[in-house]
Amino acid sequence: MSASPIVGIDLGTTYSLVAVLQNGAPAVIPNALGELLTPSAVSLATDGLVLVGAPARARATTHPARTALAFKRDMGTDRKYTLGDRTFTPPELSALVLSSLKKDAEAALGMPIEEAVITVPAYFGDLQRQATRAAGAIAGLKVERIINEPTAAALAYGLHERKRELRAIVLDLGGGTFDVTVLQIMEGVIEIQASAGDARLGGEDFDTALAQQVAARINKAHGVEIQHMPLAWARLRGAAELAKHRLTDAERTRIVLPDLDAGGRTIQVDEPIDRAEAEEVWADLLERIRAPTVRALRDAGLAVRDVDEVLLVGGSTRMPCVSHLAAQLFGRLPLRKLPPDEAVAQGAAVQAALKEGRAEVEDMVVTDVVPFSMGVEMANRFGERVVGDLFAPILERGTIIPASRERVFSTMADNQPAIDIHVYQGEHSQCSKNQKLATYRLGSLPPMPAGRIAIAVRFTYDQNGILEIDLNMDQLKRKESFVVLQRPGVLSEAEVSAAREAMAKLKLHPRDALPNATLLARGDALFVELTGAAREQLGHALAKFRAALDQQQTELIEEVRTLLTAIIAMHRSSQQ
C-alpha cells in the first residue's frame, strides 16, 4: 500500500462509509464509535459545537431545527440550510461528513488521506456531480474520480466473480436515490450497458409516506395537523422509520408516541401498523422502481430472460416488498451476495485500487455509460414559422464513456451577429423540460446569409463527469471551447476556498469525545419516547453521566457509560 492510499467513499443520503483495499479485499473502515455506517447528518449544538454523524442523527428528533438530514438530495441546487445562527450549503454539509470519514480513515490506517474516489447515484446529473466534487475539495480531499454507485457495486461483485461470464442487473435503492444498471462481466471486464433511475426515490420517501399515513389518523382522532409541528413531526417520522425496519422481519408493529406535544396539547399516540397496510401505502413508490428498470433493459436491448442474476444493493432493498417486486419483474429470486449497505463503498475501494494500479486488481477493467442525454437548444423553420426550444442531443444516454460526439448546426438569420449555445441535459424533446447546464455566447460573427455559417459542436465527456464543449467553424478558421463547471448550486474555486476557511473556523466536536456525545444524544432521544419508571431510570442515568463528564472523573465516566449504554439498549429493544 502506498504511503497515502486512495480511499473509496460512499457518500450516502442517510449513511456514508469509507473503505480501502486490504489484503486483496475491500474493507469498510469503522468510525470513532466502532460502527461501519456513519449517518449523513449534521447538527449545531447551542454552544456552537458542530456534531457530525451518529450524535447529529440522534438529535434530529430532539432538535430538528438545528439538524440537517438528507442534504445529498439538494446537491447541485442553491438551497441553504439554516442551523441555529449558521447557514450551510449542501456541499458544505456533505464536506463535514466527508471530513469525518477522512479522520476516521486516518485514525484507522495511521497515515494521512489526501485522495478519494467518491460515489454518486448513476442518475445524478452534471450539477450534482460537480457539487460532490466541491464537497470533497472543501473537506481537503483530492477527488479525481467520481463513480456511479451501481457501477461501484458491480465492481465489488465483479471482484469476487471475475472468472465468470454473466449478465446482471443491479437494483440500488438507498436512503434517497434509486438506480438500476445493466452490466456484463467477461473475464474481469465489467461493461456497463445501461443505467436509469430516480434521483428522488429512496428509503426516506418510504419513511415519510408511512408517517403521513399515521399523521392522517392522528389528525382525524385529535384534530391536530402534526405535519406543521416540527418537533411532533420529527418524532413521528423517526418512529415511522423504526416501524419500517421492524416490518422487515415482523408482520405487524405499533407506532407509540407517549406524551406527544401537539401544539400545546399533550396527546397519546398508539397506532398499529401491519406489513400489508404499509405496502399499500408504499404502492406508488414501488411502482416508481418498475419504470426505470424497464427503461434500462430497453436501453440495453435486453429482455428479462437475458438477465442471469438480479443483484440488490442499498439498505432499503431489505424491505420484503422490494425483493418481492424484483422477483416479480424477473421471475427469480434476487441475490444479496454482498452486505447491501456496504457494497457501494467496497466497490469504491476497488476503483481506488484500480486508480493506484494495485496488483490485486490489475486484471479488472470497468466501462461506464452516460446516464443522461446531453445536447443543445436548436430551432427549426417550418414555412414562415420558426419553432424553438427544441432539444438536439449530441451525447445520447447509454453512450460508453469516455466519449466524444459532434453535430453540426448553422445560423438561422441573415447577418446573425452571435449565437448563444445553450447546453441541456435530459430526455425531453423540449429544452425547457430538461436541466440547463450552461450558456456560452459565440459572438463577433461576420455578416453572412442564413445557413452559411456552420458550427460543429463537439461534446467530450470523461469518466469523472466533466463535460468539455468544442466549437469549430472551419470556414472562419475559428475554434473556441469551454468546460461546463460553474453554474448555480455549484461552487467556484474561490467559493470552495472560502468554504474550506469557514469550515476550519468551525468548532467541531472532538473525535475522541464522540462516543460520549453520541450516547447522550441517543439517551435524550429515547427519554422523549419513554414514560413512567423507565423514563425516570433513564433520566437518572443521563444526569449521572453528565455529572461525571463535568467532573472529568475517568473511572466514574467509564462506570456510568456502561450503565447508561445497558439502560438505553434495554429500553430500545423493548420498544422494538
The count of other CB atoms within 10 Å of the CB of residue 263 is 12
- In this prediction, residue 1 carries a pLDDT of 47
Q: Point out which residues pair with 198 in neighbouring strands.
A: 178
Q: Cβ distance 445 to 461 under 8 Å?
A: no
**Cβ–Cβ < 8 Å for 464, 144:** yes
- Please tell me the distance from the alpha carbon of residue 265 to that of residue 518, in angstroms, as a whole number: 30
Q: Catalytic amino acids?
A: 10, 72, 149, 172
Please give the Cα distance from 504 to 498 (Å, whole number): 10
CA dihedral 56, 62, 63, 64 (to 10 degrees): 90
Per-residue pLDDT in tens (0 to 9) along the chain, 576 residues: 446 899 999 999 999 999 999 988 999 999 999 999 999 999 999 989 999 999 999 999 999 999 999 999 999 899 999 999 999 999 999 999 999 999 999 999 999 999 999 999 988 888 888 899 999 999 999 997 899 998 899 899 887 777 778 899 999 999 999 999 999 988 778 899 998 999 889 999 999 999 999 999 999 999 889 989 999 999 999 999 999 999 999 999 999 999 998 888 899 999 999 999 999 999 999 999 999 999 999 999 999 999 999 999 999 999 999 999 999 999 999 988 889 999 999 999 999 999 999 988 888 888 888 888 999 999 998 888 889 999 999 999 989 988 999 999 999 999 999 999 999 999 999 999 999 999 999 999 999 999 999 999 999 998 777 889 999 999 899 999 998 864 545 677 788 888 889 888 888 888 888 899 999 999 999 998 888 899 999 999 999 999 988 888 788 889 989 999 999 998 877 665
Tell me phi and psi for residue 27, to 5 degrees.
-130, 130
**547 vs 567: CA distance, rounded Å:** 17
Q: Could you give phi then psi for residue 100, rounded to 5 degrees?
A: -65, -45
Q: What is the 3-state secondary structure (H, E, C) of 170-220?
A: EEEECCCCEEEEEEEEECCEEEEEEEEEECCCCHHHHHHHHHHHHHHHHHH
Dihedral (Cα; 119, 124, 126, 129), 10-degree rounding = -30
Which letter, b or e, does each residue of 403-433 get, where b requires 16 or more Cβ atoms within 10 Å of its Cβ?
A: eebebebebeeeebeebebbbbbbeeeebee
Does a cis peptide bond (omega within 30 degrees of 0) precede residue 402? yes
Distances (CA, A) of 233 to 60, 207, 255, 263: 11, 12, 13, 11
Residue 40's nearest CA partner among 109, 91, 115, 111 is 91
CB of 100 within 8 A of CB of 55? no
Where do the domains of the chain lie?
Answer: 374-476, 511-575
Tell me the C-alpha distance between 126 and 114, whole Å.
Answer: 24
In this structure, what DSSP letter does residue 361 have? G
pLDDT on residue 511: 83
For residue 244, what is its C-alpha cell? 419500517
Alpha-carbon distance of 576 to 572, in angstroms, equals 6
Instruction: Kindly state the DSSP code that residue 12 receives in the 8-state scheme.
Output: -
* CA–CA dist 369, 113 (Å, integer): 29
Instruction: Report pLDDT for 488.
Output: 46
How far is Cα 128 from Cα 27, in angstroms, rounded to an integer? 27
Which CATH architecture fits 374-476?
Answer: Sandwich (2.60)
| Helix (H) and strand (E) counts in the chain | 14, 28
Q: Are 189 and 202 in contact (CB under 8 A)?
A: no
> CA 508 to CA 376: how far, in whole Å?
44
Nearest to residue 423, comparing CAs of 379, 393, 453, 381? 393
